[in-house]
Amino acid sequence: MTRSYILHMFTPGRQMSPFDVNMAIDAGYDMAIPYCDVDTKNIGAMTQDAIFSRGPKSVAHTGIFIGGRDVVQAAEMLALARKAMVPPFEVSVCADPSGSYTTAAALVATVERQLRKAHQTDFAGRRVLVVGGSGAVGRIAGALASQLGAQVWLSNRSGSEAAARLSEETNRCFNALTEGVVIRNSTELQSVLADTDIVLATASAGVQVVGEAERSSARKLLVAADVNAVPPAGIEGVGVMDDGKRIGSSDAVGIGALAIGNVKYQVQHRLFKRMREAGKPVYLGFEEAMAMAREVVAELG
Ligand SMILES: NC(=O)c1ccc[n+]([C@@H]2O[C@H](COP(=O)([O-])OP(=O)(O)OC[C@H]3O[C@@H](n4cnc5c(N)ncnc54)[C@H](OP(=O)(O)O)[C@@H]3O)[C@@H](O)[C@H]2O)c1
């Protein structure tokens, strides 16, 4: 009997992302079935409902995807789904809430590539500012840069208490060492940028967070990367297609949203394929996304 590849797609929210459904089908799943209202309370039961009916031989033919918008909740759900497995009844699980794990991995891997190519250096000891550091992509990008040895500021507009709480939670949940920084206006941004080697713009789509004047105040800047593909650019002077293009007359190079998006697409596609082809259960979170992003980026040369 030929068995279909089935992906059960769980989200705590009201709907599963059509982006993720498309990605799953394009990566070879025959069926991608969305379930809403699945969170830490019921993911164990939902996982066990998914694993028993097809028998241990169909392990590679059944998978679970965890979406939603909350990076911490998704990490908890991934751990709980894994705990609910009853070997040999065990299937692969991948989490990518709001596309943040794969986008952040693509962002950090493309920056790492340009640090090496344009400046013969890496993240170790570098000062990284994540503008939009309270969002899903920003928190994970900050955690990944920190794991690579950078000193990371996660920016926040809500005040010092919120900034500290968010970076503490990010550090605890994602094995990182970031610091929160409050940036509410251009003067505060310029003051932090003066000490910044790498700026990552991860704020909401369609919002410019670093203008020309602010970027010019970043005299030590090596790389400026922007994940926002919706005009205006998140960082003025960085085009969506840029991948290592010098910014103005500075030594800094820019990376735009579509250059990052191309890597993100490949990372998510390959993670889904890996779930189907591994032959044994795999558990894929933000660290596995980072390893995959480095693989994809290495192929770019
Ligand atoms: N290129 C790709 O492949 C790709 C893939 C996925 C997502 N994205 C992009 O990645 C970005 C981040 O996604 P997300 O889901 O993490 O975003 P999000 O949750 O919508 O926003 C991230 C943060 O942006 C901050 N923000 C909003 N307006 C701001 C402003 N004027 N100044 C400073 N900060 C501001 C918010 O912080 P507060 O807490 O201060 O409000 C929010 O926490 C989006 O632009 C999205 O389109 C790109």
Residue 53: the pLDDT is 86
Closest CA to 201 of 130, 253, 105, 128: 130
Dist CA 117 CA 144 (whole Å): 20
Can you give the pLDDT of all 301 residues of the chain as single tens digits? 678 999 999 999 999 999 999 999 999 999 999 999 999 999 999 999 999 988 777 778 999 999 999 999 999 999 999 999 999 999 999 999 999 999 999 999 999 999 999 999 999 999 999 999 999 999 999 999 999 999 999 999 999 999 999 999 999 999 999 999 999 999 999 999 999 999 999 999 999 999 999 999 999 999 999 999 999 999 999 999 999 999 999 999 999 999 999 999 999 999 999 999 988 999 999 999 999 999 999 999 8
Q: Whose CA is nearest to atom 12 of ligand 1?
A: 202
Dist CA 98 CA 136 (whole Å): 7
12 CB within 6 A, ligand 1 = no
3-state secondary structure of 104: helix
Dist CA 37 CA 39 (whole Å): 6
227 CB within 6 A, ligand 1 = yes
| CATH assignment of 6-99+263-300, among 3.40.640.10, 3.20.20.10, 3.40.50.10280, 3.40.50.2000 | 3.40.50.10280
Distance 209 CA to ligand 1 centre (A): 10
Dist CA 256 CA 225 (whole Å): 6
**Tens digits of residue pLDDT in 247-277:** 999 999 999 999 999 999 999 999 999 999 9
Distance 157 CA to ligand 1 centre (A): 12
Closest CA to 224 of 238, 212, 209: 238
Class of domain 103-260: alpha beta
Dist CA 117 CA 176 (whole Å): 26
Distance 47 CA to ligand 1 centre (A): 31
Indicate the pairing of strand 253-255 with strand 243-246.
Answer: antiparallel
Q: State what percent of residues in the chain have pLDDT above 70.
A: 100
Distance 201 CA to ligand 1 centre (A): 8
Mean pLDDT over the full length of the chain: 96
The domain locations on the chain are: 6-99+263-300, 103-260
